[in-house]
C-alpha cells in the first residue's frame, strides 16, 4: 500500500483518486457490445457469453429443474444462513414502507403522495470469481416489498453454462423466477433493450466491474433508469489508538479481495497505529485464497497519516467512501460529523462484512465518490412517488387569485384561464 504522511489539503483530490481504466477505450468497447445486443438480440448475447465467459448457452433461461437441483446441491448451513439474512434484510426494509398522508394545504385543497412500484426491474448479479448471491437478497427483497410486478435477474454462467446454486437458491427464496444465464455488458444491454428471450425493463440495479458500470451509464443516456453508477468496491477505515490492528487489517482485506480494481484506505493520526496495521495486512494477506487479487487491489490503496481527528473527518468526507468503518473509541461522536458515505460501521465490533450479508442494511452502495450525492439502494429505489391533489369548488376559489397572478406574471394566459373558466 502507498503511505502518505500529513498530506496538504491541496493534495487530497489527487491522493484520493480511484483506480480507473482508459475511459475512452472502455466506453468504445462497451458501446460496440451494447449496439450489437440491441440489433441482434439473443444471438449477440450468446456470442459475447461464449467470448467472455467461455460458456456455450443454448437456452438463456434458467429452467425449473435447475432451481430444484440448486436446492439439493446447497448444503444445509448455507441455506439456513441465506434464510436468516433474508429475515434481517426484510425486517429493516419493511420499515421503509410508507402510508400516504393527505395534507390540506389550505381549506378545500388536499395533496398527497403515493409510492407505486416500478413495473419492470432488472437485477444484475455479479458472478465470475465471486458469485454475489447476497446481492439477490439486497435487491430482490426491496423490489418485492415495493410491489414491482416483474423482476428479472441476470448473472454470468460458469464455463459449463450453469449458475452458482446459491444464486438460484437465493433467487427462489425471495420469489424471483425469471432468471437468465447472462452477465457483463451483454446482460445490461439485454435488460435495457430487450431480446427475443430477455424482457426489457424500466430500471436496472446491481453492482459490477467497470465494464458493467460503463454499460449502465450508457444505457441511461438512452432513457433507461439505473440505481446508481456503482463500480468497484471500496472501504475507508478511521483508526485511533484503541483500534485492534488485526481487526482493521481484516476489514481492509475484506474489500481488497473483491477485485483487483478495488481500493481500501486507512486514515489515522498515529504513526504507530499505521505501522501495526500495515504489518497485520502483510501477515494476513499471505493466508488468503484470493491473495493475488487482494495484492493487486492493495497497489491502488492508501495508508494516510493526518494531523488530528478533525482533519481525518474532513478527509473522509472528501473521499466519500462506499463503506466507512470508525474503528475508534468515540465512533458515535464522529459518525455525527460524517456527511458523505454509503454505509457507516461504528466501533470495533462492526465489521463491514455484516452489512454485506446479514445485518439488514443494503449493501448496494454508491462508489467512486458518488456518496456525495447518491444513497444506497432501499425500497424507495424501486418505487415512483406520484403526487395527487383534489380541490373542492371552495378550494379552487381560495387559491384562484394566487394561481392567476402567478400565471399572468409568467405570460401564460392559458394557465390563468384554466382557473378563471371554473370560477
Show which residues are catalytic: 322-323
The HSE-up count of residue 240 (CA atoms within 13 Å, CB side) is 16
User: And the C-alpha cell for 315?
Assistant: 478527509
CA–CA distances in Å: residue 246 to residues 27, 236, 304, 332: 40, 16, 18, 22
Which phi-psi region, left, alpha or beta, contains residue 288 (left: φ > 0; alpha: ψ -120 to 50)?
Answer: beta
Q: Which runs of E-coded beta strand occur in 350-412? A: 383-391
What DSSP state is assigned to residue 393? H
CB 167, CB 139: distance < 8 Å: no
- Cα–Cα distance for residue pair 307/248, rounded to 1 Å: 20
Q: Which runs of E-coded beta strand occur in 211-291? A: 225-226, 234-239, 263-268
Task: Decide: residue 336, CB within 10 A, 0-12 exposed, 13-18 middle, 19+ buried.
Answer: exposed
CA–CA distances in Å: residue 298 to residues 146, 278, 332: 39, 11, 29
Q: Which of 220, 263, 204, 295 is nearest to 20 (CA)?
A: 263
CA–CA distances in Å: residue 254 to residues 258, 345, 359: 7, 14, 16
- Cα–Cα distance for residue pair 416/370, rounded to 1 Å: 42
- Cα–Cα distance for residue pair 86/160, rounded to 1 Å: 29
Q: Which residues contact 232 (CB under 8 A, 6 or more apart)?
A: 18, 19, 209, 210, 258, 259, 261, 262, 263, 367, 368
Helix, strand, coil % in the chain, rounded to nearest 5: 50, 15, 35
Q: How many other CB atoms are found less than 10 A from the CB of residue 346?
A: 17
Amino acid at each position: 500500500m502507498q503511505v502518505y504522511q500529513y498530506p496538504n489539503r491541496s493534495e487530497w483530490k489527487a491522493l484520493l483518486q480511484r483506480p480507473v481504466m482508459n475511459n475512452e477505450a472502455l466506453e468504445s468497447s462497451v458501446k460496440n457490445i451494447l449496439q450489437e445486443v440491441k440489433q441482434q438480440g439473443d444471438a449477440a448475447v450468446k456470442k459475447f457469453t461464449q467470448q467472455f465467459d467461455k460458456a456455450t448457452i443454448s437456452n438463456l433461461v434458467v429452467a425449473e429443474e435447475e432451481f430444484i437441483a440448486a436446492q439439493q446441491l446447497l448444503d444445509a448451513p448455507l441455506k439456513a444462513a441465506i434464510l436468516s439474512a433474508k429475515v434481517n434484510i426484510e425486517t429493516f426494509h419493511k420499515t421503509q414502507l410508507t402510508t400516504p398522508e393527505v395534507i390540506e394545504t389550505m381549506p378545500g385543497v388536499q395533496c398527497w403522495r403515493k409510492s407505486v412500484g416500478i413495473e419492470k426491474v432488472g437485477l444484475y448479479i455479479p458472478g465470475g470469481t465471486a458469485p454475489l448471491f447476497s446481492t439477490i437478497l439486497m435487491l430482490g427483497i426491496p423490489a418485492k416489498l415495493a410491489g414491482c410486478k416483474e423482476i428479472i435477474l441476470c448473472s454470468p454462467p460458469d464455463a459449463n453454462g450453469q449458475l452458482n446454486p446459491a444464486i438460484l437458491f437465493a433467487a427462489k427464496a425471495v420469489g424471483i423466477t425469471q432468471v437468465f444465464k447472462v452477465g457483463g455488458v451483454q446482460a445490461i444491454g439485454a435488460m435495457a433493450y430487450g431480446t427475443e428471450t430477455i424482457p426489457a425493463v424500466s430500471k436496472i440495479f446491481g453492482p459490477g466491474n467497470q465494464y458493467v458500470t460503463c454499460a449502465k451509464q450508457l444505457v441511461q443516456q438512452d432513457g433507461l433508469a439505473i440505481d446508481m453508477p456503482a463500480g468497484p468496491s471500496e472501504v475507508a477505515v478511521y483508526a485511533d489508538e484503541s483500534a485492534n490492528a488485526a481487526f482493521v487489517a481484516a476489514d481492509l482485506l475484506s474489500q481488497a479481495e473483491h477485485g483487483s480494481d478495488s481500493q481500501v484506505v486507512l486514515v489515522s493520526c498515529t504513526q504507530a497505529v499505521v505501522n501495526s496495521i500495515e504489518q497485520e495486512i502483510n501477515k494476513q494477506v499471505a493466508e488468503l485464497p484470493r491473495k493475488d487479487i487482494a495484492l493487486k487491489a492493495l497497489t491502488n490503496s492508501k495508508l494516510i497519516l493526518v494531523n488530528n481527528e478533525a482533519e481525518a473527518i474532513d478527509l473522509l468526507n472528501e473521499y466519500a467512501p462506499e463503506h466507512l468503518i470508525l474503528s475508534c473509541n468515540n465512533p458515535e461522536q464522529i459518525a455525527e460529523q460524517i456527511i458523505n458515505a454509503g454505509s457507516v460501521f461504528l466501533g470495533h465490533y462492526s465489521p463491514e462484512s455484516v452489512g454485506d450479508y446479514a445485518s439488514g442494511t443494503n449493501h448496494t452502495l454508491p462508489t467512486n465518490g458518488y456518496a456525495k450525492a447518491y444513497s444506497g439502494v432501499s425500497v424507495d429505489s424501486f418505487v415512483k412517488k406520484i403526487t395527487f391533489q383534489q380541490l373542492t369548488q371552495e378550494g379552487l376559489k381560495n387559491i384562484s387569485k394566487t394561481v392567476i397572478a402567478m400565471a399572468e406574471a409568467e405570460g401564460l394566459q392559458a394557465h390563468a384561464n384554466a382557473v378563471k373558466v371554473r370560477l
